[in-house]
Amino acid sequence: MATLILNGELEKLAGCSTITISSVTYRGFIEEVVNQVAGLSADRLMEMALAIDGEIIHEPLLVTIPENSELHFVFKISGG
Amino acid sequence: MSEAKQYKYIGQRTIRPDGFDKVTGRANYGADLSLPGMIWGKILRSPHAHALITKLDTSKAEAHPDVLAIARFEDFPTVNAAAFAEGRQDKGLVDLASNILADKKVLYHGHALVAVAARTEAAAAQALQLIEVEYEVLPPVMSIDQAISADAAILHEDMFTQGLAETPSAASNIASRMELKKGDVDAGFAQADVIVEREFSTPTVHQGYIEPHATTVRFDENGTSTIWCPTQGHFDVRASTARLLGMELGQIKVTASEIGGGFGGKTTVYLEPVALILSRKAGRPVKMVMTREEVFRASGPASASQSRIKIGAKKDGTLVAMQASLYYEAGAFKGSPMGPGCMTVFTPYDVENMWVEGFDVVVNKAKVAAYRAPGAPQAEFAAEMVMNELAERLAMDPIDFRLQNAAKEGTQTLYGPKLKAVGLVECLQAAKTSKQYQTALAEGEGRGVAAGFWFNIGGQSSVIINMNPDGTGTILEGSPDIGGSRASMQMMAAEELGIPLDRLNPIVTDTEHVAYNQTTGGSRTTFATGMAVVEACQDIVAQLKSRAAAMWNVTSEQVDWQDGSAINLAGEDKMTLAEVCAIAEKTGGQISGRGNINARGAGPSFAVHLCDVQVDRDTGKTDVVRYTAIQDAGKAIHPGYVEGQYQGGAAQGIGWALNEEYVYDQNGIMENAGFLDYRIPLASDLPSIDTIIVEVPNSFHPYGVRGVGETGIVPPLAAVGSAVSNAIGLPITALPCSPPRVLKLLQDAGQ
């Protein structure tokens, strides 16, 4: 099981600060989050980067979510 | 990890491959291309900061004998009225189009209205005078305070604040609000022995690139239209232009010229789509070049900001709570760097309780663009000023105070993930033992210390390396070189292939010769494009081994690649890279390597800057007398370029802190739109900026690279601000610390 840690607006929407995730695929993970948090859309979540154990991944579609990993949604960063 | 390995080229100060062309004047910049039959485009700009366009008549200009085309907002087929009626509009695209040619309203002084193309530059300028425009002038909204006041004029009637708990019923100049929290900030402050709370402001500033925006385009109705321009991202110029004009990507080729500075300001489009409309209508190539005044008035500056910071600590120096409210000006359209500001403001510190809110606010100024670590300098200026005041209140050395609370591997950031290995502690330790910090201040001097953080990013990069039969090769990359990336790519490729540097020629090619590359920005290129180069080299080495194996009648697994040669592990044979390339014709054709990646694992970087100043109490003028920039590079591929990035960031940050600001009159008209009145630092204004390269490798990169281009502009604002504050013995809460402002502070204090 991985743990998704929520912050800011997502935490407010979910009403909790963590969600336990069993999926190992990104799409399965998104489905799990959307099913558990009313008002969150998959499209909105997929616009964000995903941090897995501290590594920020801007396009996580193909990632495998490791067992016992810590997950965070992170706003995508561009820069100058 | 590679840090213990001895490299042949990585870490050396090699000759830059673009150096000769630049110092001899052969390098071709944005305005250098001219084409047969070329005509000139010029833009009519708004004389008002905020107004409705009630009449726009171009008929007299169209009748001018030398005018060949006119472009207006309606000429963007994907955002015009027809697209709106058909529900095809995209709000982001509408904002982009409305910024480069206004629709029904002008939103800042200098906002583009109409473009004209004529046979000569003078005729185009003359034709602009023939365009009749009438306005209903509206009150300009020129500051965050004005924009968020209850009676503010509203810039966009369809803008409702996003990110609020309840959906607002009234339009607002606040485009969005965001909030981040960690722990319980109220409980944290309850534990504090000392709390400092202050408000700060920073002005609108420009990146100050020397080369104005320019482009030469040729529309080709039968095939591929071409765009030549100085840009940090020619693939994104292509994408934006194609979307605005309803064209396919394959119908546009963009070539990035040499670039005379960008710093984030050349990551969007202003002229290119307009010039292509004009070229399509006129059937001629079109050239457009902004004047310096147009660059200041109508290209994207960096956000002005206002912030309120509150930090609490225990008597022993342990930070217990940090809180911030950050307001960023977006300019005329939403999209300030409020998000990264909120995410970076407290990242240098490992504190249990943090709370940050941010606001994206529209005002009647040019739409902001990125500027090195967008959003971070403004936010971290405020936080670091409070950190220094807290250190003073606690009677602690400011570096020791930071060391006690420094973020390190495993620190949970406010924006979410835990940090991997980072080098803030190492930077602080290097600062503490630096020559400057060991130097006693002279009478009247003040010293400032500040830390800074920036994420750095990875992203998409594509590289092709073509080998020639004589063993030379060409590296085709699609990342415009704004900070020495051609040298870095050449060095990484030479290291991987094991051949001399001068055997490889790095070229930034156009959008047709490599696959998509993200814009050069976010300090990504040496990291991400470098990884693509390494991948392309590995592809080449695999082919070289296979070709040698074929010659020796062994398997590829029986061939090793060592120091630029194939070694037959099953015998005594050896072939150099040039020898393998020479027989490529017989072994399957020429050799070419490819690296197409979406790079993950960008390593964030921290910096610590030291600034010593002397303030003339009679004039208010500040002289920087000593300055040291210390930063974690992960691994410095080319230390000379890395030091240049540190010094450049420091110089721009010193300018931001001491002199730079847009000055507006009561009508919202910028009064200092030129380098004589908008004062960037000259070489004579600066001391020799010392640098210390800290190397804590990024484990995700083959050579340990982190980005280095942006972090260096984050600490200077507070390092300088605190130094000035310490020199005059008065708090600094607003930038710039220009002579009139400092003099007023001194006079108000009776000094």
Residue of B628, B722, B665, B741 lying closest to B401 (CA atoms): B722
How distant is the Cα of A41 from the closest Cα of chain B, in angstroms?
15
Please report whether residue B187 resides in a domain. no
Q: Which of A13, A56, A59, A76 is the best residue to mutate to test the B interface, defined by the most B CB atoms within 10 Å of its own CB?
A: A56
Residue type at position B671:
E
Mark whether B586 and B628 lie in a shared domain: no
Q: What is the pLDDT of residue A13?
A: 84
Q: How confident is the model at residue B4 (pLDDT cuts 50, 70, 90)?
A: low
Instruction: Give me the number of domains chain B comprises.
Output: 3
Mean pLDDT of B21-35: 96
Q: How confident is the model at residue B1 (pLDDT cuts 50, 70, 90)?
A: very low
For chain B positions 385-444, those within 8 Å of chain A (CB to CB) are 414-420
Mark whether B437 and B466 lie in a shared domain: no
How distant is the Cα of A50 from the closest Cα of chain B, in angstroms?
9
In the predicted structure, residue B2 carries a pLDDT above the cut 50: no
Please report whether residue B229 resides in a domain. yes
Structure tokens at B681: 């630092």
Please report whether residue B115 resides in a domain. yes
* B81-96 tens-digit pLDDT: 778 778 777 889 999 9
Phi, psi of B492 (to 5 degrees): -65, -40
Mark whether B501 and B519 lie in a shared domain: yes
Number of neighbouring beta carbons within 10 Å of residue B197 = 12
**Percentage above 90 pLDDT, chain B:** 96
In the predicted structure, residue B280 carries a pLDDT above the cut 50: yes
Mean pLDDT of B689-704: 97
The closest CB to that of B180, out of A7, A58, A77, belongs to: A7
* CA–CA separation, B376 and B571 (whole Å): 58
Range of the domain at B448: 305-456+603-748
Q: Which helix (H) or strand (E) holds B289?
A: strand B286-289
Mark whether B707 and B689 lie in a shared domain: yes
Please report whether residue B275 resides in a domain. yes
* Residue pairs spanning A and B at CB distance below 8 A: 93
Please report whether residue B406 resides in a domain. yes
In the predicted structure, residue B131 carries a pLDDT above the cut 80: yes
DSSP states of B621-642: -EEEEEEEEEEE-SS-SSHHHH
Q: Which of B415, B420, B710, B711 is the best residue to mutate to test the A interface, defined by the most A CB atoms within 10 Å of its own CB?
A: B415
Mark whether B470 and B437 lie in a shared domain: no
Please report whether residue B384 resides in a domain. yes
Q: Of B539, B571, B599, which closes a domain?
A: B599
In the predicted structure, residue B216 carries a pLDDT above the cut 90: yes
Query: What ipTM describes this predicted complex?
Result: 0.93
Mark whether B450 and B509 lie in a shared domain: no
Mark whether B479 and B580 lie in a shared domain: yes
Mark whether B449 and B398 lie in a shared domain: yes
Q: Which residue spans within B618-703 are E strands per DSSP?
A: 622-632, 689-694
Contact predicate B486/B637, CB 8 Å = no
Phi, psi of B474 (to 5 degrees): -120, 125
Contact predicate B329/B175, CB 8 Å = no
* CA–CA separation, B362 and B331 (whole Å): 5
Residue type at position B415:
Y
* CA–CA separation, B554 and B556 (whole Å): 7
Which residue bears the tokens 């396009």? A59
Q: What is the pLDDT of residue B413?
A: 96
Q: How confident is the model at residue A40 (pLDDT cuts 50, 70, 90)?
A: confident
Q: What is the pLDDT of residue B450?
A: 98
Q: Which of B180, B526, B600 is the best residue to mutate to test the A interface, defined by the most A CB atoms within 10 Å of its own CB?
A: B600
Number of neighbouring beta carbons within 10 Å of residue B439 = 15
Please report whether residue B80 resides in a domain. yes
| Orientation of helix B234-245 relative to helix B272-282, angle to 10° | 50
The verdict on B374 touching A (C-beta cutoff 8 Å) is yes
Mark whether B226 and B117 lie in a shared domain: yes
Mark whether B235 and B382 lie in a shared domain: no
- The whole-chain average pLDDT of chain A stands at 92
End-to-end alpha carbon distance in chain A = 37
Mark whether B659 and B646 lie in a shared domain: yes
Q: Which residue spans within B539-649 are E strands per DSSP?
A: 559-562, 565-568, 574-576, 592-599, 605-615, 622-632
Please report whether residue B163 resides in a domain. no
We report the CATH number of the domain holding residue B252 as 3.90.1170.50
In chain A the domains, ranked by start, together with CATH numbers, are 2-74 (3.10.20.30)
Q: What is the pLDDT of residue B90?
A: 84
Structure tokens at B80: 């015009």
We report the CATH number of the domain holding residue B525 as 3.30.365.10
Mark whether B120 and B231 lie in a shared domain: yes
* B289-346 tens-digit pLDDT: 999 999 999 999 999 999 999 999 999 999 999 999 999 999 999 999 999 999 999 9
* B602-661 tens-digit pLDDT: 999 999 999 999 999 999 999 999 999 999 999 999 999 999 999 999 999 999 999 999
- The whole-chain average pLDDT of chain B stands at 97
Cβ-Cβ contacts under 8 Å, A55 against chain B: 417, 420, 600-601, 700
**Percentage above 70 pLDDT, chain B:** 99
Range with the lowest mean pLDDT among A59-63, B207-211, B556-560, B591-595? A59-63
In the predicted structure, residue B404 carries a pLDDT above the cut 80: yes
